[in-house]
Structure 1
Amino acid sequence: MNAEEQARAINAWLDQNQITEIECLIPDMTGLARGKIVPRHKYNPAEGLRLPEAVLSMTVTGDYPEQDFTAVSDPDMRLVPDFATLRPVPWEKEPTAQIIHDCYNFDGTPAELAPRNVLKRILKLYEDEGLKAVVAPEMEFYLVEVQADEDIPLSPPTGRTRRTEAGRQSFSIDAVNEYEGIFDVMYDWCEAQGIQLDTLIHEMGTAQMEINLDHGDPLELADQAFLFKRTVREVAIRHNMYATFMAKPMQGQPGSAMHLHQSVVDLETGRNIFSDEDGGPSDAFFHFIGGLQTFLPPAMPFFAPYVNSYRRLSRYTSAPINLSWGFDNRTCGLRVPHSVPQARRVENRLAGVDVNPYLAIAASLACGYLGMKQRVRPGEPLTGSAYEQPHQLPRHLDDAVDLLRGCEPLADVFGRHFIETYGAIKEAEYREYFDVISPWERRFLLLHV
């Protein structure tokens, strides 16, 4: 569909659904929705919109790195709507649409700092090899009580029984049903937006849930993950709770992950290249795992993007501490679930759910791609507990950023300018965090040292 056909299709959909207002969205570097809200009669999809390029270099606090990574003149970029992302906003009273836009320079080239463009860049590498990646994210999150004071620790909310959960309720159906009002609305709103939910389970933590999305095209799944986070937050707020996608929101509770199942198919035949014709694992399968083992450590800022992210990655929190791999071994950072040959896949368990889904999916696929191109062999599969193995991952954000900047293969596939910009954003966030004195320091150091 060319630009003119897209514009006609968008206008027809807006008219058919009697839309009065349009939320024009882009995902920023954090994965939050930025953009403009435009009245229907003022929205021209053929022209698109404009937004300052500097939006793409903002930190999670709304600040900017000390160095300019966009032009000093603070120019605009052009936002072009993607018809495939046009959806209703089901929680608005008036008929409202939302549509994700792609970011372009005015010479027609993609804005290289836009996370959606970054994912497209990695997918193009696969396409050039006659391949297509398939992914399925699993997203964990907590429901918590509304607490306006940031100094007070978070606590689980009360459910329909007016009580909080007693102990951990892994896979409990009744514990999920405590919040059935939230999940009934969540499913309805996700269906209205074309977000393809698979299963809902109760995870290990108190009021910790997991939603699995159906497998499919990486760009579509990143869009769905982006919109899903927004939707669940909105549902929770309307039920007097918060839904949080922090990686480690509560002391003494497990962290929240975004596990990513990945496979690769041949574009011409549709065959899963991770399996040979006899049904056994292929060389491409092993090389993909080898690439993940080799390049995930320097790619860590995409999977653990904040200081809080590293609180999750501990042998005491049921999260990966290394990149061992194994068949159906959940202690490993890289797990290969039991499956038929056509469904053979690799589950990357490293990412926290606090990631930008576009960048996390792009980074994981980039690591696997590099492994296949370089024919990297993995280590031997692990049958025991990976939690007993040594740490193999950076333990702090600043160390992770240094590793990322020093990895030339990742800079080649992502673009050096993007890597430097992203690294500077993470450095700025770490510097701001480091200035804050925590309650623990005041409690135990104030009068004791």
Structure 2
Amino acid sequence: MLSDTKNWLRKNPQVRTIRVAACDLNGQPRGKRVPARFAHKVVEDGTRFPFSALNLDIWGEDIDDSPLVFESGDRDGLLHPTQRGFVPMPWLEAPSALLPIWMFHEDGRPFEGDPRHALAKVLRRYKARGLTPVAAVELEFFLIDDSGKKLEVPISPRSGKRRKAAEVLSIRALDQFDQFFTDLYDACEEMDIPADTAISEAGLGQFEINLMHQDDALRAADDAWLFKMLVRGLARRHGFAASFMAKPYEDYAGSGMHVHFSVLDSEGNNIFDDGGPKGTDALRHAVGGCLAAMYDSTLIFAPHLNSYDRLVPENHAPCGISWAYENRTAAIRVPSGSPAARRVEHRVAGGDVNPYLLLATILGAALVGMEDGMEPPEPITGNAYAQDLPRIPDNWEAAMDAFEASTLIPRILPEGLIRNLLLTKRQEAHYMAELSPAEQVEIYLDTV
């Protein structure tokens, strides 16, 4: 991998600068800009910045009373390139490249506050059992004109008009922004992000793009993290904003990030496939684990104040803890189709999540369910919103309390990460309460 990374620089002499960046707990890239002629030093020796840099609040401020700051002398961690290597940054004017990195201690131990390591740890547990998750995400986002005091749909470059309506599965809505989507798909190909189908969605100026299934869940999370950066950056080049915030418009549905997953055994067989529509015991137990952890892990699925504006009944976001076959009102859906492709769709998370923490939590909960043989309740039929179901927390504070009190979450995520995330969210809640709704939207619009 080291030689491949070096070769990439030699093959791309037009790249003048690189960014080295790791993902913090809020999904924000934290790192440095380096002239390309010095990039070999990062590739060979890594780079350093404080452990606390991966545990900043949404404004990029230190966390008060964090043991990573003054208590420990704000020590440096050592960051090395991930397996991804260099990735072009086609949303920038000057030819540039991003080198994703992740954090370690000086003695080589992974830093447990790094969300990418949290997912890698879950995947090692699967591997120890001879299992491999296959994962994909669906990402919803809004194109927004934020140049005025009020958020609006951007004016179409083709028609010169502003269409103030949600248009589900509208080819016309996609064609209104044809050049943006053409550039987006070209950029995804350049960055090796497996972007598949694009559709218009139920929100105002809302779209969804699916990323292809792959048997490397760590790479799937990398793709989602990079895709969010790309969409936001490329939209600005086109003169408007793109946002994955959960709910920018009060009267329209919010954005989700749905996760599809199955599990392969050591011979490449889907362990959820029983040859029919119902799926195996392993599928039921995975669903059971996801349902058992759902209440406690809502803070992962809805990590921001604005996240809870999306989680309201009959607004295309699940609120009740349930599962079903081929039913999009349930929190967990088992899609129909070929038995060989039998899988689970987890539908709770907003578009504003950290992809590494999302996949770590969902796949970790499924593994706990399979380890413990957890049986889910009977699948529901009909409209989940109209049924008396146990519900996930409907506000940020309740989600924090559930996450902190959980006995299941420590079986999935590292203790240090749990502590750091709670400190982060409680600090953000304190300062968000001092802001107006417009100021809250402003900070979320460009970050999450």
Shorter chain as denominator, the TM-score bin is over 0.9
**C-alpha distance in 2, partners of 1:239/1:352?**
25
Pick from 154, 159, 163: which aligns with 1:157? Answer: 154
**C-alpha distance in 1, partners of 2:112/2:288?**
28
- Alpha-carbon offset, residue 85 of structure 1: 3.6
**C-alpha distance in 2, partners of 1:293/1:119?**
19
Q: TM-score, normalised to structure 2's length? A: 0.93
- Alpha-carbon offset, residue 72 of structure 1: 2.4
Give the 5 Å matches for 1:423-434: 423-434=422-433
- Alpha-carbon offset, residue 280 of structure 1: 5.2
1:323 to 1:85, Cα distance in 2 relative to 1, 3 A: farther
Is it true that 1:258 corresponds to 2:257 in the alignment? Answer: yes
Per mean C-alpha deviation after superposition, the further-off stretch among 269-278 and 363-372 is: 269-278
Partner of 2:279: 281
Partner of 1:53: 51
Q: CA RMSD in A?
A: 1.7
CA contact (8 A) 1:57 1:69 kept: no
% identical equivalent positions: 36
Q: Which runs of 5+ in 2 are unaligned?
A: 439-448
Is it true that 1:17 corresponds to 2:16 in the alignment? Answer: no
- Alpha-carbon offset, residue 342 of structure 1: 1.4
Paired amino acid for 1:377: E
- Alpha-carbon offset, residue 105 of structure 1: 0.6
**C-alpha distance in 1, partners of 2:139/2:217?**
15
Partner of 2:146: 146
Paired amino acid for 2:194: Q
- Alpha-carbon offset, residue 83 of structure 1: 4.2
Q: TM-score, normalised to structure 1's length? A: 0.93
**C-alpha distance in 1, partners of 2:33/2:310?**
36
Is it true that 1:242 corresponds to 2:241 in the alignment? Answer: yes
Partner of 1:396: 395
Per mean C-alpha deviation after superposition, the further-off stretch among 89-98 and 228-237 is: 89-98
Matched residue SS, 1:181: helix
Provide Cα deviations, 1:22-42, integer angstroms capped at 9, x if missing partner: 111111111111111111221
- Alpha-carbon offset, residue 203 of structure 1: 0.3
**C-alpha distance in 1, partners of 2:137/2:63?**
31
Matched residue SS, 1:99: strand
1:397 to 1:278, Cα distance in 2 relative to 1, 3 A: closer
Provide Cα deviations, 1:193-219, integer angstroms capped at 9, x if missing partner: 001011000001121000000011211
- Alpha-carbon offset, residue 94 of structure 1: 4.0
Is it true that 1:39 corresponds to 2:38 in the alignment? Answer: no
Q: Which runs of 5+ in 1 are unaligned?
A: 1-5, 440-449
CA contact (8 A) 1:90 1:189 kept: yes
**C-alpha distance in 1, partners of 2:321/2:67?**
33
Provide Cα deviations, 1:234-289, integer angstroms capped at 9, x if missing partner: 111111100011000112011000011111111x2101111236775111100011
CA contact (8 A) 2:30 2:54 kept: no
Provide Cα deviations, 1:92-148, integer angstroms capped at 9, x if missing partner: 444422111121110110011011111101111111111111111000000110336
Partner of 1:128: 128
**C-alpha distance in 2, partners of 1:144/1:93?**
21
Partner of 2:444: none
Q: How many residues of Structure 1 are paired with residues of Structure 2 in the alignment?
A: 431
1:78 to 1:325, Cα distance in 2 relative to 1, 3 A: same
**C-alpha distance in 2, partners of 1:412/1:290?**
15
**C-alpha distance in 1, partners of 2:350/2:368?**
22
Per mean C-alpha deviation after superposition, the further-off stretch among 186-195 and 82-91 is: 82-91
Matched residue SS, 2:412: helix
CA contact (8 A) 1:89 1:98 kept: yes
Paired amino acid for 1:263: S
1:83 to 1:218, Cα distance in 2 relative to 1, 3 A: closer
1:28 to 1:163, Cα distance in 2 relative to 1, 3 A: same
Matched residue SS, 1:237: helix
**C-alpha distance in 2, partners of 1:192/1:366?**
32
Paired amino acid for 1:385: N
Partner of 1:187: 185
Is it true that 1:299 corresponds to 2:297 in the alignment? Answer: yes
Partner of 1:230: 229
Per mean C-alpha deviation after superposition, the further-off stretch among 162-171 and 287-296 is: 162-171
**C-alpha distance in 2, partners of 1:235/1:381?**
41
CA contact (8 A) 1:168 1:206 kept: yes
Per mean C-alpha deviation after superposition, the further-off stretch among 235-244 and 272-281 is: 272-281
1:167 to 1:342, Cα distance in 2 relative to 1, 3 A: same
